[in-house]
Amino acid sequence: MALRTPAQYYKSLEKLHPVAYILGEKVENVFEHPLIKHMVAAVAKTYELENDPEASKLLVTKSDLVSGEVSRFVSFYKSPDDLLAKVRMLKLMAQTIGGCYMRCTGMDAINSVGIEVYNCDKKYGTSYWPKLLEFIKMLQKEDLVLFSGVTDVKGDRALRPSQQPDPDMYLHIVDRNKDGIVVRGAKIHQTGSLCAHWGIVVPTREMREADKDYAVSFAFPTDAEGVVHVYGRGTLEARALQDCDLGNVEFGKFAPMVIFQDVFVPWERVFLCGEYEYAGEMVRNFGNYHRHSHGGCKCGVGDIYIGAAAIAAEYNGLKDVSHINNKLAEMLKVTEAIYGCSVAASVEATPTPSGIWNVDPVLSNTSKLYEGKELAEVIRMMVEIAGGMVADVPSDKDFANPEIGPLLTKYLKGADSVSTEDRVRIFRLIEKLAFESRDIVSNIHGAGSPETHRMTILRNADIASKKNLAKKLAGIKESK
């Protein structure tokens, strides 16, 4: 089929029946639930933009696996231009949605898996690469949503997977037979798992021979038997449940925990099964790609931080105040640095034997470190510029009350040219942007912890050559 429309995406969800629990209750019509429907709307927006004449220039690409145009979200990175288009696409999506759109994790996963299974096939004569290609063909033909399962619950962090008192703390193979494998475990922080048709599992860390049953990668339908999605709580969700005070935002984000209760996976959907030496590189590739993705999406959201702060200042009657303009300039410095590093990581990309291009790991991780530390300062400045009304504007229900609504409209007015309603709307948006826990934590821990980012930079930076530069300028000769 051709690229889906939003209506076709919503229609496709009617065929999915995932097992899902939300706030202690098993939910049947999960896609209509008030805590889920806003994220589904964000994914639907990606389909809308795929069919938009201008946006499709970034969201749509040619495939060498199937005929016609396909979504970039289910495509390989075959050149630096593909990686640049990806960053620009994610920036556009974030500017449009104001947050997460769920589809970048699957895109990064198929590329990270592809590089390593190609290498594995060359070494061991396995057939993972052609099976992955067939899976991607299916995704492209049907224009499906894919999410990635990377982060295990991990148990005692000081112990390796095979050393855990409970072996299920990392997802692992519990049985192999002629038809496939059976897996057990849990993945946490699974952004948008309940918006996707399929998931793809990636090992969460490097493995040793004793951990080989944990070195596993596979694809699964999100409603596969034995797969359980458990909604992860966040801040501000009471507003979605009450359908008020949402900040004029129709989109949202959630990150369930996904539990695998002896899930059967047929061999044609298994892409790694015990070849432990490829697990570490697979997840490192994913981390580098996903930090690269953040450089696009977080810069896009950063543009909204900046715009919202500037509007709040204007609505407060403080347009063109020098100290506010200085803060806006500082905010721009951070967001453009985040974006610039990801653009540079695309330009400095290198090819792999699979034909998939890998981003520059130092630059992509530098982008993420800026995000993890400096984007918090951008958010702080947004709140500082906007003022205290970000925290405790009365409810929409109070404004609708005929007795006190007119009084609130009177006393919460700002600049004379701006309605109270519009002023409240921008404060609600800033409140959501600043205090939605999932997005704030994602800025820090998304695509791995900050310490992982630093380690990756050090692992890939050529410190020796930098020392040699300094020695040469200092006149220090190498000892024989």
Whether residue 1 has pLDDT greater than 70: no
Question: Which has more confidence, 455 or 178?
Answer: 178
Q: Which residues contact 32 (CB under 8 A, 6 or more apart)?
A: none
Q: Under a CB-based contact definition with an 8 Å cutoff, are residues 292 and 365 in contact?
A: no
* Domain extents in the chain: 6-279, 282-471
Question: Which has more confidence, 234 or 223?
Answer: 223
Q: What is the pTM of this model?
A: 0.91
Angle made by CA atoms 354, 355, 360, in degrees to the nearest 5? 100
Fill in the DSSP letter of residue 443. Answer: H
Whether residue 254 has pLDDT greater than 80: no
Cα(35)–Cα(330) distance, integer angstroms: 35
Q: What is the mean pLDDT of the chain?
A: 93
Whether residue 446 has pLDDT greater than 80: no
Kindly report which listed range (199-208, 419-428, 439-448) carries the lowest average pLDDT score: 439-448
Percentage, residues of the chain above pLDDT 90: 79
Short-list 105, 47, 92, 83, CA closest to 301:
92
Band of the pLDDT at 441, cuts 50, 70, 90?
low
Fill in the DSSP letter of residue 244. Answer: -
What is the fold, at CATH topology level, of the domain defined by 282-471? Answer: Butyryl-CoA Dehydrogenase, subunit A; domain 3 (1.20.140)
Average pLDDT (5-26) is: 96
What pLDDT does 230 receive?
96
Kindly report which listed range (116-130, 281-295, 424-438) carries the lowest average pLDDT score: 424-438
What is the fold, at CATH topology level, of the domain defined by 6-279? Answer: Butyryl-CoA Dehydrogenase, subunit A; domain 2 (2.40.110)
Average pLDDT (113-134) is: 98
